[in-house]
Amino acid sequence: MDFFAAARALYRRHGFTECAPFGDYEADPNSTFMTLLLHESSPRLSSGPSRSRH
């Protein structure tokens, strides 16, 4: 039984992908490492529509 399968599926649906361990973490059979590439134009980072001044 994979207790965290639903959680990993949720992260994947939102663009996360599996990656290697990072920082001081080491590979562990009970851990899954995931990352999300953020772009400057990402709606997740945007505070609203951009407005330019002339």
pLDDT, tens digit, for every residue of 12-49?
999 999 999 999 999 999 899 999 999 877 666 555 55
- The model's pTM is 0.64
Residue 33 is predicted with a pLDDT of 97
Give the pLDDT band (50/70/90) at residue 54.
very low
More confident residue, 7 or 1: 7
Residue 53 is predicted with a pLDDT of 55
Q: Name 18's Cβ contacts closer than 8 Å, sequence gap at least 6.
A: 32, 33, 34
Q: Tokens standing for 18?
A: 């599996």
